[in-house]
Structure 1
Amino acid sequence: MNTVVIGLQWGDEGKGKIVTYLSRYYDCVVRYCGGSNAGHTVDYGDFKIVHHLIPSADGRFKKNMYIGVGVVIDLDVLLRELEQLNNLFPESSTLLRVCKQSHLVLPFYRELDGRIDAARNEPVGTTRRGIGLCYANRALRFGLRLEDFEDDQTVKERLRELAKLWNLELSIETVLEHLREAYERISHLLIDNVEAFENLKNKNLLFEGTQGVLLDVDVGTYPFVTSTNCSSSGVQSGFGYPIKIDKVIGVTKAYTTRVGEGPFPTELKGEEGERIRKLGGEYGATTGRPRRCGWLDFVLLRYAVKVSGCDELIVTKADILKNFEKIAVCVAYEVDGIKVHELKNLKDIHRVKPVYEEMEGWKDINSRAFTKFLKKMEQEVGVRISYVSTGSKVDEIIAL
């Protein structure tokens, strides 16, 4: 069984917890896209872990982990995460493998990333971690890969090319020394893509997506998106080989959030939005930025389910809306006076006016009001809900 877990909103849906919980049923967790701009927070109760690069496998179950070719690697971040993993689950770090053909996020990419975003007429709100620039250099064939460190001369030539391309004054030797030291510390984890595929081809794999469908570079709210195919469509290229996906699980909050710039039809800019933000602890795990909050949007959820091929839903943060006397859900948009229930694309999303239905709030997840909310979601989206997260901790989840 090969399953992919993706976010159906603008990221931050709680995928880290979900992947950690589900990982007990799989042989290996595979990261297939993104970089250290991801922040998957996992609450074990006594402690929390924030995964940026290392897959969110449950350390208590000693599962294999693989970082695929579609992930871009910041070695400094990876080393910090490995240290954290070694401290909490000493045996788990030996179960990680990293694709040799993965591209590296170089230290000077971060500054360039910020410079590029600042030069836009309208900044997209990048995390300024150098992720987009790394993917751009990969596409331009100027990228530096982990396997290049098998020959220092190759690395030097790549660094010179990059300095020339981006008009940088670099101390090649200083940069190389820093990268070489970091590379040596993780070299024992490296594996060629072909060998990884051979090792994993008969295993049950859980693919971990990053960000969310609405941030996918092709089907998201472009240009306010990330730089990768973070929807289910990115699994093949991010793994590096054709692979059959048996199930696509979409994760959605009981409300909607967004970090950074871009359209957000159901955003609540007043007291209700602030209340959700505080109750939900809605601050970015990677950047610490406050998340924009709003009501659940069924129009966007239907779109995300359709373009991702989602088979089932997992709902998170339903507990955050406890004790709201009334909640609202967006069931349609009004565009130029016409009511719209389905979207073919997102190009005019900034122009829509949400059409709401009001629903009774709930005191707990066993209440009639909450059951009615879940049934409404399934009817509107057309996909069944398999789990509901009932709290922040890994095991605070119930199957339906």
Structure 2
Amino acid sequence: MKIVIVGLQWGDEGKGKVVAYFSQFFDNVVRFSGGSNAGHTIEYNEGIKIVNHLLPSFYNGKQLNLIISNGVLVDLETLVEEIEELKNKIDYLPEIKISNLAHVVLPFHKVLDEKIDEETHIGTTKRGIGPAYADKINRIGIRLKDFENKDNLMKKLRNISEFYYKMYGINLTLNYKYIIELYEKIKRYIVSQMEIIEEIKESNVLFEGTQGVLLDLDMGTYPYVTGTNCNTTGVQSGVGYPVKIDKYLGVFKAYLTRVGNGPFPTEIYGEEAAMLREKGKEFGATTGRPRRVGWLDLILLKYAIKVSGVEELVLTKGDILSKITKIPVCIGYKIGSKVKENITSIDEIKEVTPVYTYLDGWETLNDLNFKRFLEFIENFVDVKIKYVSYGPKVDQIKQIRQN
């Protein structure tokens, strides 16, 4: 069995918790894209709270492999810190496998990321992800495999340093010794990509998406997107093998948030936004920035479902909307004098006015009005909500329908 779980919004849908829950039924959890710009917060029943930026999410106590595949960008310092944190917080550390073909984020990637953001106002996390992916495409990137030959590594590092000085005026003196020391701390986990492919072929695998479909490099709100394909389409290139996926699951929350700039038709402001942000604890796991917040947008959700091919839905944070009398839900976009219930291009959302319907609120998730809320969403997007998350902890997920 091979499934992929992705977010259907602009990230922060609660994927980490959902992946951790489902991982108990699998042998491997595979990260296939992104880098340390992702932040998956996981709260276990044992009172343990972990924020993963590179390591896949997992069910505590389950014997499985955590695989970082070739499509992921590795920030050595972040990865070392994450592994050490896990060792200190949990009794049993899952087996970690990192592809030797994964590219490495270096200090000048972060400097360039910040310089670019100052000009473009994209609102990135400034973790160096875009520039590192660009170097990969430009064929000047550094891979973990390059660390196997220290002489060649030093030559490549000097060459890329010179490139950044000539092209961007970034003149950094790399601490080569420190970089190699970090590599040595994770060396024991590094395996060939072929070993990872064989592992994937012969076992039950859960592929963990990062960010969300609306941040996908191709199908998201370009240019306000991440540097890679975080849609379900990224699995194949992210593991270097034509994987046959058995099931596609999409995660969305009962309202919307966004970090960084870009269009957001249902965004709200002032006291209403502050209320929703505080109730949902909507502050970035990676940056700590307060997230932009807004009401659920079914036009965007329907779009994300179509381009990702997800067949089942997981709703999170319905409990955050409890005790709100009327719940606004966007069911159309007013463009001029016309109202649309579908979009054929994500670019259409840049200058629209949301059209809302108002659904009766609920006291608890056991109320009939919450069931009606779920049914309304299902009827609009034509995909069933199979699971509902009712709290922050991993096990606070329930299956609400069998088929």
Query: TM-score interval w.r.t. the shorter chain?
Result: over 0.9
CA deviations 1:21-74 (Å, max 9, x no partner) are 000011110000000000000011412100100000112112211000000000
The Cα RMSD (Å) is 1.0
Q: Residue 339 in 1 paired to residue 339 in 2?
A: yes
Picking from 153, 169, 172, the partner of 2:171 is 169
Verify the 8 A CA contact 2:108 2:164 in the aligned structure 1: no
Letter in 2 for 1:134: A
Verify the 8 A CA contact 1:41 1:285 in the aligned structure 2: yes
> Which position in structure 1 is the counterpart of 2:64?
63
> Which position in structure 1 is the counterpart of 2:134?
136
**Whole-angstrom distance in 1 between the partners of 2:175 and 2:247:** 43
**Whole-angstrom distance in 2 between the partners of 1:240 and 1:91:** 30
**Whole-angstrom distance in 2 between the partners of 1:384 and 1:165:** 51
Verify the 8 A CA contact 1:63 1:92 in the aligned structure 2: no
* Alignment coverage as a number of residue pairs: 395
**Whole-angstrom distance in 1 between the partners of 2:155 and 2:118:** 29
CA deviations 1:66-123 (Å, max 9, x no partner) are 0000000000000000001111234325x01000000000122212210111122xx1
Letter in 1 for 2:125: T
Verify the 8 A CA contact 2:61 2:92 in the aligned structure 1: no
Q: TM-score, normalised by structure 1?
A: 0.97
Picking from 144, 148, 151, the partner of 2:149 is 151
> Which position in structure 2 is the counterpart of 1:24?
24
Letter in 1 for 2:56: P
**Whole-angstrom distance in 1 between the partners of 2:191 and 2:71:** 14
1:224 Cα offset (Å): 0.3
> Which position in structure 2 is the counterpart of 1:193?
193
1:342 Cα offset (Å): 0.8
CA deviations 1:252-294 (Å, max 9, x no partner) are 0001111110000000113222111000000000000001111
Verify the 8 A CA contact 2:27 2:63 in the aligned structure 1: no
Letter in 2 for 1:220: G
> Which position in structure 1 is the counterpart of 2:308?
308
Letter in 1 for 2:76: L
Letter in 2 for 1:163: S
**Whole-angstrom distance in 1 between the partners of 2:350 and 2:243:** 36
Letter in 1 for 2:8: L
Picking from 125, 144, 165, the partner of 1:127 is 125
% same residue: 49
> Which position in structure 1 is the counterpart of 2:371?
371
**Whole-angstrom distance in 1 between the partners of 2:175 and 2:160:** 12
> Which position in structure 2 is the counterpart of 1:74?
75
Q: Secondary structure at the match of 2:73?
A: coil
Verify the 8 A CA contact 2:41 2:50 in the aligned structure 1: yes
Counterparts of 1:244-393 in structure 2 under 5 Å?
A: 244-393=244-393
Letter in 1 for 2:142: L
**Whole-angstrom distance in 1 between the partners of 2:111 and 2:74:** 16
1:337 Cα offset (Å): 1.3
**Whole-angstrom distance in 2 between the partners of 1:266 and 1:16:** 25
**Whole-angstrom distance in 2 between the partners of 1:214 and 1:234:** 13
CA deviations 1:201-249 (Å, max 9, x no partner) are 1111000000000000000000000001001000000011110011110
Name segments (4+ residues, structure 1) moved above 6 Å: none
Q: Secondary structure at the match of 2:233?
A: helix
**Unaligned residue ranges in structure 1 (runs of 5+):** none
Verify the 8 A CA contact 1:155 1:176 in the aligned structure 2: no
